[in-house]
Amino acid sequence: MSDYAEHLQSTWYKNNQALRCYRPWRDTPVLDWHAKPTHQRTIPCAERVWSIPCRIGEDRIVFGCWDNSLQCVSLRDGAHQWRFATQGPVYSSPAVSDDGSFVVGCEDHVLRRISQDGECLWAFHAQGPFHASPTIDPARSIVYAGSYDHTLYALDHASGRLLWKQSFDEQVEDDLYSSPALDADGNVIVGTDNILMCFRPDGEERWRITETGRFEGTAAIDHASGRGVIGTEVDGKIIVFETKSGTVLRQFHTDGFVVSCPSLSPQGVAYVGSNDGHVYGIDLHSLQCLWRVNLECEFRYTPFTVLPSGDALLVGTDERLHCLAQRTGESLWRLEHSGGFHSSPLLTDDGHLVIGSHRNAVHFYRWIR
């Protein structure tokens, strides 16, 4: 197993590439991940694409669109494969299983499991939109999903049957916004208002962290160290905590909201964006801020991700895709397109990058062998 493949299995963050592909990552040493990828094609859509594209087969890419649909296209040439109609926009990103099926939420208040061929395997109805992205615990066959009806749901992955639910303060607007994260023991960590909570797989509360700002982002978890990182809205903190106890180990203050979803490098560096225009490189082992760089744009809800090289990939409100060096934060390259970027990218081990746009398109890039 390559270092990157091992990293994907030993961490959890919202755009960990293991969550977006139906099979494990394969080592591809002939690709230069430090180089800038080349544009291959652009697929026009009827509406914006904020959902992270996912790989559900060797030649199949699926993504959610604001035109009330899920769409599947060919990775090889962009040809249309199928379209699944929903009753509302799809902001949520799919969580992919090893059979190519995926679970995805929708603004129509429905969480669905869809097969690789576009068939609905089950549908679960809530009282509010599924804006956050679901999480699958394959070891226990549980799907976790938060809805704007102020509830965290745990469902059986095979059938969609409700296992348990936890409801939260109904006075909080747009909650739950935070997506569920998983620690090494299968406990689920999720933010609601100004509380970060951890639940066991059976729904029993394990711990909570109460802060002055809202937890609207999603936690990133390093299983080896047992440490997690998340930001807060309003007071702009970056918080590092122990996943077993909820003990806060260190706080870093920024000058803007921290609602972006951090990513982690194989060496334990957390990449966190703030609306103050800066990206922060936090060493989870030493609890030090290694660097802070100003990219002169804000970082809102688009999740960060990581290249096999360990370098950070992130999209800001400048609608560019930035690549930053792991140890220094130096800008290695950036991608620009007239249509701009919005979603976090899908990376594939054979060198593809697929990314959605706020301006009604999906863009395909590739690292040349």
List the CATH number of the domain containing 26: 2.130.10.10
For 134-188, what is each residue's pLDDT tens digit?
Answer: 999 999 999 999 999 999 999 999 999 999 999 998 888 777 889 999 999 999 9
Q: Please give the tally of structural domains in the chain.
A: 1
Count helices and strands in the chain by DSSP H and E runs:
1, 33
Contacts of 89 (CB under 8 A, 6+ apart): 47, 64, 65, 66, 67, 68, 106, 107
Q: Looking at this protein, which amino acid is placed at residue 273?
A: G
The full DSSP string for 281-330 is EEETTTTEEEEEEE-SS---SSPPEE-TTS-EEEE-TT--EEEE-TTT--
pLDDT of residue 113 exceeding 70? yes
Of 42-46, 198-202, 212-216, where does mean pLDDT reach its minimum? 212-216
Average pLDDT of the residues in 312-325: 93
Q: Is 160 exposed, middle or buried (0-12, 13-18, 19+ CB in 10 A)?
A: middle
CA separation for the pair 48, 143 (Å, rounded): 26
pLDDT exceeds cutoff 70 at 1: no
Q: Which domain holds residue 34?
A: 3-366
205 contacts 168 by C-beta, under 8 angstroms? no
Nearest to 227 by CA among 1, 10, 9: 10
DSSP letter for 349, please.
Answer: T
| Residue 294: Cβ-neighbour burial (10 angstroms; 0-12, 13-18, 19+) | exposed
The rounded mean pLDDT for the chain is 95
